[in-house]
Structure 1
């Protein structure tokens, strides 16, 4: 008599079509403007500082339906725990600076370092986009 072993076959988990995109940058570089333009197609003239806003957008991605959860973060460094949490849960990152401010570009260095630290070996597989914003400001008015 032979013993029959039960084989457990596990189905591969379905690939999730939900992605968390986190937008980082200094205060006033236009993070919220970029997000609102993408989500609602609108532009807000006035500046209202953001603590953290989250938006959901359904898109078509390679003939599949995907949901983007876009987190528009604060431009200040007052909430490091929120920053770390956003990075640890994020699937993709948009780093925004103003072409009018070299300082805003420099402020992205520690954020990029933290993303690399928290994501570790996965970093080559994580989309990161560097966006220079406010290109519409005339060169004569840039700092």
Structure 2
């Protein structure tokens, strides 16, 4: 792992000792990022949201019987409001990439986000969830479920189709991302333990060789 590219920091004391997870919502304007976030944290569907505004939300939940404190950055979708994009891509631990199933252009934009993240982080090993929102507008669908699943396979990430308006599968999205972050942390922890064991064995081997040389002199 290249430390210069991993600028995120984790916190275990943001709210009563709960682990903090930095989540970034990505996607074109109008796909429902803010509505999904509001439904998740307050079970409320907003009447109106300015798509040019970036906002942050915080909430504490339990996922798999473990407390989790989510710090969610809801990014602006318009291209002209991307001056801070590199900063939040460096800071995010996990990303929810959203598109609307009623808007093919938003799906095409979603397909570009992983490369944008890679350009900033220089690794593809980033927890992601891909979301096709607005399944309550099925009659206006422009992006098939199969296309979403295909992109998720390309991304090697989980895929959900949701309705922010009806609050369908919203919790699954955020819980799924936290599980992905936890899985990555567990993998890194296991790799670090293996490396420490190798270092310990190497030191013991060098110590044995040194003692052997000393005993023969």
**TM-score bracket for this pair, using the shorter chain length:** 0.7 to 0.9
Q: Distance in 2 between matches of 1:47 and 1:90?
A: 23
| Bigger fraction of residues in strand | 1
Query: How big is each residue's C-alpha offset from its partner over 1:73-129, in whole Å with a ceiling of 9 and x where there is no partner?
Result: 0010113331111110000000000001111011123322111222223x32x2101
Give the aligned partner of residue 10 of structure 1.
none
Q: Distance in 2 between matches of 1:120 and 1:23?
A: 19
Query: How big is each residue's C-alpha offset from its partner over 1:1-21, in whole Å with a ceiling of 9 and x where there is no partner?
Result: xxxxxxxxxxxxx97411110
* Deviating more after overlay: 95-104 vs 56-65: 56-65
Give the aligned partner of residue 30 of structure 1.
32
Give the aligned partner of residue 78 of structure 1.
80
Give the aligned partner of residue 122 of structure 2.
120
Query: How big is each residue's C-alpha offset from its partner over 1:33-87, in whole Å with a ceiling of 9 and x where there is no partner?
Result: 1000001100123343242110011122444322110000001011333111111
Give the aligned partner of residue 11 of structure 1.
none
Give the aligned partner of residue 88 of structure 1.
90
Contact conserved, 2:76 with 2:82, CA < 8 A, in 1? no
Unaligned runs of 5+ in 1: 1-13
Give the aligned partner of residue 109 of structure 1.
111
Distance 1:63 1:47, change over 3 A: closer
Greater RCO structure (CA 8 Å; 6+ sep) = 1
Distance 1:65 1:81, change over 3 A: same
Q: Distance in 1 between matches of 2:104 and 2:111?
A: 12
Contact conserved, 2:51 with 2:78, CA < 8 A, in 1? no
| Bigger fraction of residues in helix | 2
Q: Distance in 2 between matches of 1:15 and 1:98?
A: 33
Over the residues paired in the alignment, what is the CA RMSD in angstroms?
Answer: 2.0
Give the aligned partner of residue 135 of structure 1.
135
The number of equivalent residue pairs is 127
Question: What's the TM-score once normalised by structure 1's chain length?
Answer: 0.79
Q: Secondary structure of 2:46's partner?
A: coil
Structure 1 residues 26-65: aligned runs within 5 Å: 26-65=28-67
Question: What's the TM-score once normalised by structure 2's chain length?
Answer: 0.54
